Amino acid sequence: MNEDYEVKATRLLDIIDTIVWDDAFLLEPQLPFQVDEDGKVIFFEKLAVELAKPENNDLLDWAHEHIVSLFE
């Protein structure tokens, strides 16, 4: 892992933590993304909105590529 990977992973995990924590009232909070049968990552609305913000825009492509491996 390089420094860029670590910084982006930390930022993405912080965003996900905030989203999951905000949904903590749910009986079973879930990760804000899924992987379809073709292996394509689909972000749920809250995560997509966060990644679309200008300050997080550099994470969008990176998240598509790496998000699954962060939770394996």
Query: pTM value?
Result: 0.83
Residue 67: its pLDDT value, please?
95
7: exposed, middle or buried (C-beta count within 10 Å: 0-12, 13-18, 19+)?
exposed
Residue 63: its pLDDT value, please?
96
Structural domain that includes position 11: 3-70
Rounded to an integer, the average pLDDT of 48-59 is 95
Residue among 63, 66, 28, 38 at smallest CA distance from 49: 63
Residue 19: its pLDDT value, please?
83
Residue among 31, 38, 42 at smallest CA distance from 64: 42
Average pLDDT, the chain: 90
**Domains held by the chain: number:** 1
The 10s digit of each residue's pLDDT in 3-37 is 999 999 999 999 998 887 766 566 666 788 999 99
